[in-house]
Amino acid sequence: MISQAVNEIKDGVKLEILFFDEGAPYSMYGNAVLASSADRDCVMEVFNYLATDLCKGDNERYFPDQIFKDYIPNIEGFPRDVDYGNMSNDTLDEKDRLLAKWTFS
């Protein structure tokens, strides 16, 4: 959400970006191909596009953390040295534990 706030500030909206004492939350994401589909050219063509061009474009425009070994993006107005929170417990077991406590209506 930091990128959305940065864009709004660039557009003249009077916002201030604040962070939790525990650090900023983040989303983990990744790309994968099923082994049973890895030999299909069309699957690999889409995967390679997602993992390179699309991912780099997002990195250049919205999420300037270093995710590529040889490329550090720079987005004007994006806070530098964001202190990200410890989200190491973002696991399927933790998701299941929390969902078991949730009462759906």
Q: What pLDDT, in 10s, does the model give residues 84-104?
A: 888 888 889 998 998 999 887
Q: Which of 89, 49, 56 is nearest to 71 (CA)?
A: 56
Q: Is the pLDDT of residue 67 over 90?
A: no
What are the φ/ψ torsions at residue 8 (nearest 5 degrees)?
Answer: -65, -40
21 phi-psi bin (left φ>0, alpha ψ -120 to 50, beta other) = alpha
**Residue 5 resides in a domain:** no
Residue 55 lies in a domain: yes
67 in a structural domain: yes
pLDDT tens per residue across span 4-41: 899 899 999 999 999 999 988 877 777 889 999 999 99
In a domain, 70, yes or no: yes
pTM of the model: 0.59
DSSP state letter for 71: B
Residue 38 placed within a domain: yes
The boundaries of the domain holding residue 63 are 31-74
Give the integer Cα–Cα distance in Å for 4 and 31: 23
Q: In total, how many domains does the chain have?
A: 1
